[in-house]
Amino acid sequence: MLTRKQHQLLLYIDDHLRRTGYSPSFDEMKDALELRSKSGIHRLISALEERGFLRRHHHRARALEVLRLPNMGTEVTAATGTAFLPAVLNQGQKGLEGAFSEASVANDRQTVSIPLYGRIAAGLPIEAMQDDSDRIDVPVSLLGTGEHYALTVAGDSMIEAGILDGDIAIIRRRETAENGQIIVALIDEQEVTLKKLRRRGSMIALEAANRDYETRIFPAERVHIQGRLIALFRQY
């Protein structure tokens, strides 16, 4: 049984992960719960960890993982690291990692085949990668509406967002995105990269999730959004 504050914090973290793709800071959690200090947040998180609702990855910044929500009856683990906690389907496992109800987990047995293009760091527009000979089966409940495709992640620029080399990124094709979302960006009609989006006036910043990489800033007209990350597949 959770206290009101524990329940409120857990739902806030889960909502923040869904909206932004990364876990909130302690200051954001403190403000959201109207607490006077971050020590109260630390106590709430520790209590949620002890009760099996939350997992904290101490070796990564802002890395909270929601394991389950009250009254759901099933684990709702998410791919973490991070800042970014997209839903992850571990190939070879039946369980879907992500905050889904029991009904949607049952529906995961229904899959749809989507194209699997080249590596995200290949330096080519998505259109140049298109080869429907490689495809991947994805649970229907994971995708939702719209057109989707998959890309294999190359490199370590997003490791602090829980996105690792060799992961398969599931992308919902779209030309717009909100600040903080992780997108597929086409730069100068030549280079494709998976980064976090930040708009700064007439400029666009593409942020890595690795302290060893610098944020790249471009005039907005040089960057075209080709999709938004909605999930990852990871082979163990």
Q: Are residues 116 and 102 in the same domain?
A: no
Segments forming the whole domain that contains residue 212: 111-235
Q: Given this model, what pLDDT does residue 224 score?
A: 92
> Could you confirm whether 141 is annotated as catalytic?
no
Catalytic pick from 23, 141, 157, 196? 157
Domain boundary among 71, 106, 141: 106
Q: What pLDDT shows up at residue 228?
A: 93
The per-residue pLDDT for 218 is: 95
Q: In terms of domains, do 59 and 172 share one?
A: no
Percentages (nearest 5) of helix, strand, coil residues in the chain = 25, 30, 45
Identify the H or E element spanning 7: helix 4-20
Catalytic residue among 23, 30, 141, 195: 195
Q: Is residue 157 flagged as an active site residue?
A: yes
- Could you tell me what percent of the chain has a pLDDT over 90? 17
Per the structure, how many domains does the chain have?
Answer: 2
31 and 95 housed in the same domain: yes
Which residues are bridge partners to 119 per DSSP? 152
Question: pLDDT tens digits for 178-195?
Answer: 999 999 998 988 888 899
Q: Are residues 99 and 118 in the same domain?
A: no
What local confidence, expressed as pLDDT, does residue 133 receive?
60
Q: Which of 62, 15, 20, 12 is nearest to 228 (CA)?
A: 20
**CA 179, 225, 113, 208 torsion: positive or negative?**
negative
121 and 75 fall within a common domain: no
Q: Are 2 and 11 in contact (CB under 8 A)?
A: no
Does the pLDDT at position 100 exceed 50?
A: no
Q: Which residues pair with 89 in a beta bridge?
A: 96, 233
